[in-house]
Structures are given as structure tokens and as C-alpha cells.
Structure 1
């Protein structure tokens, strides 16, 4: 697959001297695009990973507005409820189309007993592939097939392999339902990823907890640069509902989810990590 120019975005030290946490935030999409241009982000490859660990059931059941699996679009009474995984994937399709002239992404699923799954798919098939995995997830649970605990390390190391192979800027988007069970392993994976041209974005689905993701976002000072950003999407969406704000547009989603990418890519360039 060829390089992917961001068609609507335009166009050294060896160690970190002082670690700084990025807190990029933009009030408008235009401000975000201006920051992308200033950072000289010209191309990227998107990697999307979805959490299918068993905790999606237990945490969904604890949600008073749902009471059911986070991968379901129905509550325990059969009423239609928002599926924030599906919502995030639908918005990501719009964002990638908005920013990227190519049409393929890498789609990963993790958390089930079987090995990490990886597929190169057309971006428009993202939700369809997700729906297929939901059906498989539910059938495995019903058959008492155990799902593994949450760990994002395999997803990160898979993306590192791609960064080495392709020598392109990678944007890894992880959709997950809550805290991890092997924090040391996952922290080390994030630290290792800071040696490569990778931005990691974790998107929180459901009520969490997301304590370790917030800590990853603001600490891990062994990293060469602040390569990790966490967004609690479900809380953000509920807050917009409470404030009677309009639905989030693709441009809103892009400037929020990708808010730290410009600063991260500047760090990548300054550290001579890029390509």
C-alpha cells in the first residue's frame, strides 16, 4: 500500500532533554488544520483497534442506562440504546475520508481468547467488519469461551512492526472499555512505541474505570515524547447531551480525537524519529 497524503491538510536531538506533556486543544476545525500544517504532517497511516474483552459485558451491565453488553445496541429490556463503539467507528470513517486520500486502513481486534486479528480493509467496510466481530464475540461468550483480560500491548507492538516496515507516520486509535490488567506490560509497550513515528489515541467506551489510561496520558516519563492521548468518548457524548448540544460532526470529532497529533509529530521530527 502506498503513502497516504492528507489531501486537505497541506503540507535534532537523539534523546528527550525535558519530557513535556502535550495538552493540545482547538476550538475550531480550522485551528486544528492550521496546527497540522504548521507541524508539517503530510501523510499518515490509520490503524484502528477494538477491544473485545469479556469486561465489555460486565461493565455494560453496571451502566444504569444500559445494563447490557457494551457491544450491543439494545438494553436489557430490548430498547435501542447508543452503541458508542459503533458511533466512534462511524465517525472515524468520516474523519479518515475527510483527511485522507486513500481508502484502506488496518483493522485490529483484541481481547478474545484467540490470537490478535489483523485485517487490511477498505475504510467504508469498517463498521461492517465490526458487526461481524460482534456476532462472533457474542457467540463465543454464549458458548462459555473465555475472553482474555484487556491488554493493549499486542496492538501497540503490531503497529510498531508497521512503522518499521512502512516508515510512515502511524496513528493508532484504540477503542476500549476500561482499565488494564497488566499495567506494566502495557506501559512498557507505550514507552517502546515512543522510539517510532507513532501517535497512540485511546478512546474510552462506557463507564470505565479509565484510571490507568489517564495516568498513561500524563506520566510515563521514560518516553522520548508524549505519544499517548486518552479521550473518554462516552462521557464526552453524555455531557453534550446534558448540555443540549448538537450531535458531534466529523470535523468536531477530528479536532478532539486528533488534538495532540500536531504536537506529537513536531516532537517526532525534532527527535529525528520520522522516517
Structure 2
């Protein structure tokens, strides 16, 4: 086996231990810069499956996870705001492709762009577009991450740049084998996948995706439970951003060692 691949895999095997060095979001930012990560692309994926109507029973006061109101942000809005604001300074061009999946039109077989023409300009337009279209979207089933991951692969292939795909989803994946295959395929590209579980769970399959998928070039998929991270945090935004990004420095290091980057923009 190539020594670069062996080194990258060894580093990935110690990933959970390495995370202990991060005590605050600033530590993660410094680590990313130390690895040479100063620019990246950002992609959002939003789950519009039917289960969103009931998955807020315990964690969102019994409301639909997609409910939009003036009194508080729903979990999807929080994910967009926190990770969008945190990562936007690293974004290559300010353009953020954002997609929905699981609605009555795609039915688990595809995705649709939140914005009809072009990408969103900054996370605020992602949020504004989400707020505008969500009340009119008909939720459906099943949950399948594969079309979204494959779209992210296409974007990375076209640009040759490192990207972070953020998937906000409410529960278990139905198309398990197809999703696993897509995650494995994605490990051939400079792409990190952060899956944020919103709502009540259960999250067993997501944790399997995070820790136990074999045959990947590097550990490219991270899952975190949004409610567990923020429910007792003194600062919800900082705690969530810290947990979401703490694997990024090591993943980016592995991507570089594996030679998956065609070009790195350093400025």
C-alpha cells in the first residue's frame, strides 16, 4: 500500500483521540489553517420527508421540524444559520448550492434545488430561500442521501476544489445500501460530509455511517445529534459549530495526503 495512503488511514484511525485537543471553535479554526485549509466550497442538503411532521415530538415541542414562525428558529434554520455563518468566510466564491430531497416530487430518487436558477449567494440567501419555499413543499418519503451525495461529487469533480456537504435530516435512511455506496464513492474525492440529525431520532444507522462503513479512503462522514449538542450548551451556536467542524482538520489532512485535491487555493 502507498505510504501516503497508509499515513492518511493511520491518522484517521486516531481521529476520535485527536478531537480532544479542541476546546473551542477558535482551536478548530487554527487547526484548519495549520493544515492549509483557507478556502472551501459549501453545499447544503435539506430533508423534506414526511417524518418531519412527527420527529419534533420530544425535541421541538411537538411541532413539525419544518414549522416556520416568528417566535423561534426551527432546527433546519438553526443549522443553516450556524454552519453557514461559520463557514462562509472560507467559501470560495460565496455561491452555495442548496438542495432538498424526500419531497413528493423526488420521492427519494432525486433532489431539487432550493433556488430555481443558480446557486444561493451566501447563507442568508439559503435561509431566505428555505423560508420562502418550505411552506409550499409537500413532504413525502423515503429518506435517501445517495442522490445528494452524488450531486456533491459532481460539483467537486467539476471544480477540483475541496467542499463540505452539510446534510440536515430527521431520521433513519431507508435506502441504506445505496447511501453507503455513495459515501464510499465520495471518499475518492476532496469532500467532507457532515450529517446533522435534527429531531428525536433514533440515530443508530447514522452512527453506523459515521464509524463503521468499510473500504473508504478516509473517514469522510461525520454525524452529530443536533439536540444533544445544543440542549445543555451555554452557547448553542458555538457548541454546535465546534462539534460539527472538529473532524474537518484531520479529514482535510487525509485528503491532501491521499492526493485527492487537483488544486488548493491558498490565500
TM-score by length of 2: 0.84
Q: CA RMSD in A?
A: 2.3
- 1:69 alignment partner in structure 2: 64
CA 1:20–1:71 in structure 2 vs 1: closer, same or farther (change >3 Å)?
same
CA 1:247–1:219 in structure 2 vs 1: closer, same or farther (change >3 Å)?
closer
- 2:48 alignment partner in structure 1: 52
Which of 210, 215, 237 is 1:248 aligned to?
237
Conserved 8 A contact 2:9-2:254: no
CA 1:40–1:55 in structure 2 vs 1: closer, same or farther (change >3 Å)?
same
State the 4+ residue runs in structure 1 displaced beyond 4 angstroms. 14-19, 79-82
TM-superposed deviation, 1:221: 2.0
CA 1:31–1:82 in structure 2 vs 1: closer, same or farther (change >3 Å)?
same
TM-score by length of 1: 0.82
- 1:112 alignment partner in structure 2: 103
Conserved 8 A contact 2:229-2:243: no
Q: SS of the counterpart of 2:97?
A: strand
The residue correspondences of 1:173-188 to structure 2 (distance < 5 A) are 173-188=166-181
TM-superposed deviation, 1:99: 3.5
Question: Aligned partners of 2:142 and 2:86: how far apart in 1?
Answer: 30
TM-superposed deviation, 1:21: 6.0
- 2:134 alignment partner in structure 1: 134
Q: Deviations over 1:45-102 (max 9, x none)?
A: 1001110011111323x3375222111146xxxx956511111111123213344464
Question: Aligned partners of 1:81 and 1:36: how far apart in 2?
Answer: 32
1:263 matched to 2:243? The reply is: no
Q: SS of the counterpart of 2:4?
A: coil
Q: Deviations over 1:209-242 (max 9, x none)?
A: 11111111111121110001111112212122xx
1:149 matched to 2:142? The reply is: yes
Structure 2 gap ranges (5+): 263-267
Structure 1 gap ranges (5+): 1-11, 142-146
Which of 32, 38, 43 is 2:39 aligned to?
43
TM-superposed deviation, 1:271: 1.1
